[in-house]
Amino acid sequence: MLLSLRSPGTHGHIHSEPQDSLGAETRVMLIQRLPELNIGFIEADPAETGFVSVYDFRQALYVNAAIDYETTMRVSKVTEPHK
């Protein structure tokens, strides 16, 4: 399964649930760590396709951005694409 990093309908943001499902604190943490996340996404998508696997998405959160496991899994679940 791949996650799109570019979504024309949402102006580049991935949403499958309302923003409030993450909570303000988590959103702030993600924004603060955006440079580290971008590094992880670039490493996972060197061809610049705009897609990364769920595994690579979680790795960018957990390894590159140093986000704790529980938050990584919560964010991953909220951003998982519909089947």
Q: What is the per-residue pLDDT across 38-75, written as a single tens digit (0 to 9) for each?
A: 999 999 999 989 889 999 999 999 999 999 999 999 99
Query: Counting beta carbons within 10 angstroms of the beta carbon of residue 33, is it exposed (0 to 12), middle (13 to 18) or buried (19 or more)?
Result: middle
At 8, the pLDDT band (50, 70, 90 cuts) reads very low
Taking the model in full, what pTM does it have?
0.71
